[in-house]
Amino acid sequence: MQADIRQVADGIHLVHGSNTNWVILTEGDAVTLVDTGYPGDREKVLASLAAVGSSPEAVTAVLVTHAHNDHLGSAEYLSSTYGTPVYTHEAEVPHARRDFLHQVTVGQVLRNAWRPGVVPWAVHALRSGGTAHVPVAQPRAFPGEGALDLPGRPVPVHTPGHTAGHCAFHLPEAGVVISGDGLVNGHPTSRLAGPQLLPVMFHHDRGRALASLDAFEALPGDILLPGHGPVYRGSVREAAGRARERAA
């Protein structure tokens, strides 16, 4: 099955892989790839680059919102095969190296197996490499404050809670926020549709994840590209507020 690719603005594509999303930012012949899906999504990642007229060789950098396997899946492959640098927040660098792992445990999944959608999601995650060991050998912290000198000129915004170094990316000129798992628009284990936090079991620190909605509310934009779920068109501030109300 091919990935579902949606152009949301000039040079900005949201790609729906298998239960997770990544974003392709193009500028001329160069590309910034934000997240890389599960390890099992590799062919979809490569096919999505080809579908927008690009290639893995053209990827200037991989940006990682956070180092869970469903977002980190092919980061080391691109780094080791094509020399692509992999950037993430400084607090997420050791997580990407797998100095430690802050990820939902098998025990937590089993305790929540009665919830609708959890068992099918878990089976899919296992088949897609959700428990594979895919560390990035040399992840790099963002080189400075403000916009990155990369296609799309994304601005990192630290939004901790889902993981300690979780980071969103703001594209001010396009009015776009790439939210990773800090603010999603649906998930296979959630009964809700629309803007929301992920279910409690997925967060390393749910209190901080809730507090990070303040950061999303401060970002001007009217297109939200989440780590899970479809594109959200509307005020990002209002989307974050709705997620807060649902989490209360």
What string of pLDDT tens digits covers the 248 residues of the chain?
Answer: 677 999 999 999 999 998 999 999 999 999 999 999 999 999 999 999 999 999 999 999 999 999 999 999 999 999 999 999 999 999 999 999 999 999 888 788 888 888 889 898 889 899 999 899 999 999 999 998 899 999 999 999 999 999 999 999 999 999 999 999 999 999 999 988 999 999 999 999 999 999 999 999 999 999 999 999 999 999 999 999 999 999 97
The 3 state secondary structure assigned to 173-187 is HHCEEEEECCCECCC
- Whole-structure pTM value: 0.96
CA Rg value for the chain: 16
The 3 state secondary structure assigned to 124-165 is HHHHCCCCCCCCCCCCEECCCCCCCCCCCCCEEEECCCCCCC
**CB-facing half-sphere around the CA of 121: CA atoms within 13 A:** 23
